[in-house]
Amino acid sequence: TAGITQAPTSQILAAGRSMTLRCTQDMRHNAMYWYRQDLGLGLRLIHYSNTAGTTGKGEVPDGYSVSRANTDDFPLTLASAVPSQTSVYFCASSAGDGSGGYNFGSGTRLTVV
Amino acid sequence: GQNIDQPTEMTATEGAIVQINCTYQTSGFNGLFWYQQHAGEAPTFLSYNVLDGLEEKGRFSSFLSRSKGYSYLLLKELQMKDSASYLCAVMDSNYQLIWGAGTKLIIKP
């Protein structure tokens, strides 16, 4: 089934530890995005990539890093997790030309304790 | 700055009609999207408007007025399964989506 796969589905992480959230798409979309979603705040863009080899900062990039070594994969890394990074993280992709909107992964629920 | 406004919460009755409004101010405009998001799930695409007017798709319709920076999502013949959050998003001049905070729709029997 075509789409976006995120892993893990959920995770409890000790503060100060690092973690990488994985995201893989098989639609050959140029653009990929990482969002966090917190109650009452909606979706906030963390980082994005318009094409393989390039990345950019979104609205809330601090404490997060990304890489885009190829078209399919767009991992998000938390170098040293803090409790304020407790959230639901969604990866999304789009063709990048305005058509078709965004396709979302099923999300990763992260709790930092 | 860029801003998308929509009501936080709405309540409607099963079988009725509800209209969810969205107003926006963005740098550039390349279309307006509505997404549905059930609790604990990912957002799913509902509709896309790039020209003024009404787009109808089954029980759901979406309207756009670019001159007014305004859109609405109309849901007819409401069903309990329509209980969800509805997200309005505008694609800006860089082809990135600017998201509203979402409207939580509660359907009562």
The DSSP code sequence of A71-87 is SSB--EEESS--GGG-E
* Residue at B75: amino acid letter: L
Q: Rounded mean pLDDT of chain B?
A: 95
Mean pLDDT of B47-55: 95
For chain B, list residues whose CB is within 8 angstroms of any CB belonging to chain A: 8, 30-31, 33, 35, 41-45, 48, 87, 89, 91, 95-97, 99-102
Q: What is the pLDDT along chain A (113 residues), one digit of tens a residue?
A: 569 999 999 999 999 999 999 999 999 999 999 999 998 788 999 999 999 999 999 999 999 999 999 999 999 999 999 999 999 999 999 987 666 789 999 999 999 99
Query: Rounded CA gap, B49 and B79, in Å?
Result: 24
Show the tokens assigned to B54.
């009404």
Distance between CA atoms of B81 and B88, rounded to whole angstroms?
Answer: 19
Structure tokens given for B98: 């600017």
From B7, which residue of chain A is nearest by alpha-carbon distance?
Answer: A40
Contact at CB, B100 and A42, closer than 8 angstroms: yes
**Rounded to a whole number, what is the distance in Å from the CA of B80 to chain A's nearest CA?**
22
Q: Which residue has the tokens 């078209």?
A: A71
CA distance B96 to A98: 8
**Cα angle value B76/B77/B78 (rounded, 5°):** 90
Q: How many CB pairs under 8 A join A and B?
A: 44
Largest pairwise CA distance in chain A: 40
